[in-house]
């Protein structure tokens, strides 16, 4: 029985690899299409990446056949990563433009116009 399961799983790996390569072509192709703004393009690219990551996790990392506890650990880490991303994004979206300390000099309009001249500024 296990013999049969394993020989068919080798064929599934080939199909998954072909799907991953196909999605790579799709995501490169999508990068040449303007969907409105660079942020929307990024979101589309991340969605395609998520489909690819799901394929890798389910088939190559065997989560489909593993005890569910492994998938629970994996998904939990992703949920916390989502929280980690969400709250700073809410924070930064709800205030005026934040300029990191190292770029304060360069961010002034006069300095920003002449980028080469501004280059030595950070050395202070």
Partner 1 sequence: MSSESHVAGHGAEPSFRQHHFINAEQQFDTSKLGMWLFLATEILMFGGLFVGYGLMQSVYPEAWVAGHHHLDRIMGAVNTVFLLCSSFTMVMAVHAASQSEKAKTVRYLLGTLVFAAGFLVIKYFEYSHKFHDGLLPGTHFSYHGGGPPQQAMFFGFYFAMTGLHGFHVVVGMALITWIMLRAMRGEFSSAYYTPVDLVGLYWHLVDLIWIYLFPLLYLVS
Nearest to 16 by CA among 56, 71, 66, 51: 56
- Cβ-proximal residues to 44 (8 Å cutoff; 6+ apart), any chain: 30, 35
* Residue 1 or 98 with smaller CB distance to partner 1: 98
Q: What angle do CA 12, 15, 19 make, to 5 degrees?
A: 135
Q: Which residue has the tokens 């296990």?
A: 2
Query: CB of 5: closest distance to partner 1 in angstroms?
Result: 11
Q: Would you say 1 or 37 has its CB closer to partner 1?
A: 37
Q: How far is the CB of 46 from partner 1 (least distance, A)?
A: 6
Q: Are 60 and 13 in contact (CB under 8 A)?
A: yes
Smallest distance, partner 1 to C-beta of residue 115, A: 5
Min. distance of Cβ 77 from partner 1 in angstroms?
A: 4
Residue position matching structure tokens 């890798």: 56
**Residue ranges binding partner 1 (CB under 8 A):** 6, 9-10, 13-14, 16-17, 20-21, 24, 27-28, 30-31, 34, 37-39, 41-42, 45-46, 48-49, 52-53, 56-57, 59-61, 66-67, 69-70, 73-74, 76-78, 80-81, 84-85, 88-89, 92-93, 97-98, 100, 102-103, 106-107, 111-112, 115-116, 118-119, 122-123
Work out the end-to-end distance of the chain between its first and last CA atoms, rounded to an integer number of angstroms. Answer: 71
């Amino acid at each position: 029985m296990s013999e049969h399961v394993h020989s068919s799983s080798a064929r599934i790996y080939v199909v998954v690899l072909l799907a991953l390569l196909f999605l790579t072509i799709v995501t490169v192709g999508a990068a040449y299409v303007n969907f409105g703004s660079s942020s929307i393009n990024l979101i589309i690219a991340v969605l395609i990446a998520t489909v690819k990551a799901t394929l890798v996790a389910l088939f190559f990392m065997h989560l489909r056949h593993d005890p569910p506890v492994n998938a629970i650990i994996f998904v939990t880490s992703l949920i916390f990563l989502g929280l980690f991303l969400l709250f700073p994004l809410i924070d930064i979206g709800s205030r005026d433009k934040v300029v990191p300390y190292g770029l304060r000099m360069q961010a002034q309009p006069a300095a920003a116009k002449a980028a080469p001249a501004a280059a030595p500024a950070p050395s202070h």
